[in-house]
A and B are shown apart, each in its own frame.
Chain A
């Protein structure tokens, strides 16, 4: 079982470049999430999608956009990357929004120079 698959695993960008992080889940979950993880700050929610066709801002949405392409896929786009967006990005999917059991991908390590 693949679970939650993120691509790419590593990426280096120059300031101002754009890119899209891809995430797909095969567990038929309604909810999907994007987090960033920085040292000493745990994981912070960027955007989430409670169901297909809906997206909502999380704790740190500035500089990001998302697309819930279908039930399986949820992408995160950086339109103009900044060094402050250097981080490890995790995608997760869950069974329901409130009492959440979340399953995580292996992460994308992004460096913005």
Chain B
């Protein structure tokens, strides 16, 4: 069982559509991060959310941290082919000091 579960695991959509990716845990996190990974490369940090209920926007990407700090979501508006990649949430639970990554969501945006 993974500490951070992401859904869906795979997502294939048409250019211009909206989508939401979820990251859920039974543990409380002091912060959560979202990374994007392109084929053949390492993950690259997109955003860190720290406060319960926090919403951060990065152009067409909107990140939300759940009020209880156990979950997070990533919403992409009007997806573009350049958004294609593997999206990973990650963080350190309050009960430990190790960094955990989510199971990942592989997004394909079809032109």
A interface residues, Cβ below 8 angstroms from B: 4, 33, 35, 40-45, 48, 58-59, 90, 92, 97-107
Contact = CB atoms under 8 A, between A and B. Distances in A.
Interface of B: 2, 4, 6, 9, 30-31, 33, 40-45, 48, 50, 88, 90, 92, 97-104
B51 to A, nearest CB: 12
Contacts of A107: 40-42
Given A99-B48, A101-B45, A106-B41, A41 B103 contact: yes
A106 B40 contact: yes
A99 B40 CA distance: 26
A45 B98 contact: yes
B94 to A, nearest CB: 10
Given A100-B92, A104-B43, A48 B99 contact: yes
